[in-house]
Amino acid sequence: MILTGLFSDAQDTGWKQPWDGDDLTACQVGPGKFVVKDGLLKSEGGMGLLWYTPEKFGNCVIRVEYKTQKKEVLNRRFARRLHVTGVLYSLTKAMAKPGKMGEWNTMDITPDGPRTIVVLKGVKVTDFTEGQAVPPKVKSCEPDRDPRPGYIGLQNHSGSDTMFFREVAVRPLH
């Protein structure tokens, strides 16, 4: 999606914008939704998912620039470091929590075969390779790890959480 972010020259740099920004309706699931407002993607209305299904991604860098109006995504709800921004949800503990509320945060997610690295604001938060030990599941919503290429989705969490995204872009590694 070419929003107001850094990749308006995406074709020249190898970055691809998954959404075109015109019609997001067909890609949305749940009562919550995303709208384009003032050149930004904005979440509203509760739990929902903006899901890009035309292709699966792997061996790439996924760059997301986001801003929250409240405490960092999920960091206020769970004391455990397994449910915070930048981790592989419930599989890895955060190595750091550098994201800041009210500021633009750049997160690079790099799924490269069996290894996934997540860097947030220039600080490594996750470095996981398939086969490493993972903690036992505590909640029924905790997923199993699947290192195969997959779809990209942005999630609305609740009606009182508002997220803004100014960039969502993908660049192949190889």
pTM assigned to the model = 0.86
What pLDDT, on a 0 to 100 scale, did the predictor assign at position 114? Answer: 92
For the chain, which residues make up each domain, given as ranges? 10-172
Q: Is 12 left (phi over 0), alpha (psi -120 to 50) or beta?
A: alpha
What pLDDT, on a 0 to 100 scale, did the predictor assign at position 6? Answer: 41
Per-residue model confidence as pLDDT tens digits over 29-74: 989 999 998 889 999 988 889 999 999 999 999 999 999 887 665 5
- pLDDT over 70 at 162, yes or no: yes
Per-residue model confidence as pLDDT tens digits over 117-148: 999 999 999 999 999 998 888 778 777 777 78
Strand-by-strand arrangement of the 48-57 sheet: 28-29, 48-57, 150-156
- pLDDT over 60 at 19, yes or no: yes
| DSSP structure class, residue 14 | T
Per-residue model confidence as pLDDT tens digits over 63-103: 999 998 876 655 544 446 777 888 888 788 889 989 888 99
Query: Greater confidence, 5 or 59?
Result: 59
* Rounded average pLDDT over 9-26: 74
Beta strands in 12-122 (DSSP E): 28-29, 33-37, 40-44, 48-57, 60-68, 105-112, 115-120
**DSSP assignment of 83-98:** SSTTS-TTTS--S---
Name every residue whose Cβ is closer than 8 Å to that of residue 38 and which is 6 or more positions away in sequence: none
- Contact by Cβ (8 Å): 72, 84: yes
What pLDDT, on a 0 to 100 scale, did the predictor assign at position 104? Answer: 96
What pLDDT, on a 0 to 100 scale, did the predictor assign at position 77? Answer: 47
Grade residue 12 by pLDDT with cuts at 50, 70 and 90. low
CATH number assigned to the domain covering 10-172: 2.60.120.560
What pLDDT, on a 0 to 100 scale, did the predictor assign at position 78? Answer: 44
